Amino acid sequence: MDAYDYVVENDDVELACERIKAIVLAEHLRRDRVAPRYKKCWGRINHVRSFN
């Protein structure tokens, strides 16, 4: 099981689906995935602030 990041037991289908949804959300929100977008956004905010 060392090859996997997550393990979802499929003994309760509804619970397994909820856990998979949580994993997908967590992966979308990983720092290394969202940081470039936030850095770009903060760069624009700081640029606008420099005019005030």
| pLDDT for res 7 | 95
Q: What is the pTM of this model?
A: 0.62
CA 45/CA 40 separation, integer angstroms: 9
Q: Tens digit of pLDDT for each residue in 1-52? A: 789 999 999 999 999 999 999 999 999 989 888 888 777 777 777 666 676 5
Structure tokens at 12: 């309760």
